[in-house]
Amino acid sequence: MELAISCRNLCKTYPGKPPVVAVKNLNLEVRSGSCFGLLGPNGAGKTTTLEILEGIITPDSGDVQVLGRSWLTDAKWLRSRIGIALQETKLSERQTVGETVTLFRSFYDRGMSPEEAIALVSLEGKTHARLSNLSGGQKQRVALACSLVGDPDLLFLDEPTTGLDPQSRRQVWDIARSLIDRGKTILLTTHYMDEAEQLCTQVAVVDHGATIATGSPRDLIRAHGGDHRIEAQFSGVAPQLDAFLALPGAVTARVEADQVWCGTESPHATLPALLKLLEVQGCTLIGLGTRAATLEDVFVNLTGRHLREESMR
Ligand SMILES: Nc1ncnc2c1ncn2[C@@H]1O[C@H](COP(=O)(O)OP(=O)(O)OP(=O)(O)O)[C@@H](O)[C@H]1O
Ligand SMILES: [Mg+2]
């Protein structure tokens, strides 16, 4: 297995009063030709990790290999082989799309033509438009074109779709997929679990500067609570957590006041038993739902917290 990125025991503390430990013994392996997602809440250390891998900041300690090389010895070569789309790209609003991408092309000795990069992000019709006249989604695609114009082997995308409308997000996903089809490797960060599930073959869940789980979205979901979630709301005194965990097929359970979330591999077995349990306990059912489990559930299962505050239930 060829690795595009490998890092071991990565550490980074920002000095200050008090110092901020941003990355703490983080390990990561990204296979060549894959789309890998770093998931984690605000402040988890995703951008810091990316900036270390991009050669923008130096770690305090740890081994970093990018495309089989080290930033300490091969910085120039690495810079010519990677593409970067920062979490916030400040491009000149007065320049046209064509001028902007041409400027970025001039930074590289090799690469594709600006026209080709613009076509890859489907902005041919906007080549002569000023950035000030583009939508947020179109600007994001210009930033992507700038990161692509050096024809990189490895692309870093820091929250490529944050703040975009659903249609623009899907356009960015299509671009990412087409790049993977062309043999590129992508490392992206995201708060959106559906994005990770759609795009990434492997993900690492990052919390407090360390990876707390790694695997394919499907394997992680399976391993942390099963494929399905049953959610029930009721009135009355909740049964003990152990009673839910003992239900047939139940893998995990969480009880909060008048609500229970139960992870299961066999909803057809768990659901009737759960309803019976509530009935025997004298609880009255108020609401009931089943759904496919998501990476968000994995995060909640691992940390007891939600990835994004707005997804708090
Ligand atoms: N230049 C800096 N100086 C001091 N502290 C910093 C700096 N950059 C980041 N931090 C701190 O390091 C921690 C990790 O930040 P980082 O930007 O890597 O998180 P993140 O996972 O990318 O978060 P987000 O999802 O909000 O983008 C945070 O506590 C942050 O406040
Ligand atoms: Mg960030």
pLDDT bucket at 309, cuts 50 / 70 / 90: low
Q: What is the mean pLDDT of residues 123-135?
A: 95
Q: What is the pLDDT of residues 18-69, one digit of tens each?
A: 999 999 999 999 999 999 999 998 899 999 999 999 999 999 999 999 999 9
Report the C-alpha gap between 229 and 207 in whole angstroms: 23
What does the pLDDT read at residue 277? 96
Which residue owns the Cα nearest ligand 1 atom 27? 42
Q: What is the mean pLDDT of residues 268-282?
A: 95
Which residue owns the Cα nearest ligand 1 atom 31? 43
Mutate-to-test residue for ligand 1 from 11, 26, 48, 86, highest number of ligand atoms within 8 A of CB: 48
Output the CA–CA distances (angstroms, integers) from residue 286 to 178, 242, 270, 283, in the order listed: 46, 22, 18, 9
Rg (CA), the chain: 23
Would you state the structure tokens that stand for residue 310, as one six-digit string?
A: 């707005």
How far does Cα 33 stand from its chain's mean position?
A: 17
Which residue owns the Cα nearest ligand 1 atom 11? 22
The structure's pTM equals 0.89
* Closest ligand, as measured to the CA of 40: 1
CATH homologous superfamily of 3-217 equals P-loop containing nucleotide triphosphate hydrolases (3.40.50.300)
Architecture of the domain defined by 226-292: 2-Layer Sandwich (3.30)
Alpha-carbon torsion (92, 165, 172, 66), positive or negative: positive
Q: Residue 221: how many CB atoms within 10 A of its CB?
A: 25
**43 Cβ below 6 A of ligand 1:** yes
What does the pLDDT read at residue 162? 86
**190 Cβ below 6 A of ligand 1:** no
Q: What is the mean pLDDT of residues 100-122?
A: 94
Q: What is the pLDDT of residues 194-227, one digit of tens each?
A: 899 999 999 999 999 999 999 999 999 998 888 9
Is residue 37 within 8 Å of residue 189, measured between CB atoms? Answer: yes
Domain ranges of the chain: 3-217, 226-292
Is residue 57 within 8 Å of residue 64, measured between CB atoms? Answer: no
Is residue 196 within 8 Å of residue 216, measured between CB atoms? Answer: no
Sequence-separated (6 or more) residues with CB below 8 Å from residue 15: none
Q: What is the pLDDT of residues 147-181, one digit of tens each?
A: 999 999 999 999 999 888 888 889 889 999 999 99
Sequence-separated (6 or more) residues with CB below 8 Å from residue 145: 97, 101, 104, 114, 117, 118, 120, 121, 123
Sequence-separated (6 or more) residues with CB below 8 Å from residue 229: 261, 262, 263, 264, 290, 291, 292, 293, 297
H helices present in 112-204, as ranges: 114-120, 136-148, 166-181, 193-199
What does the pLDDT read at residue 216? 96
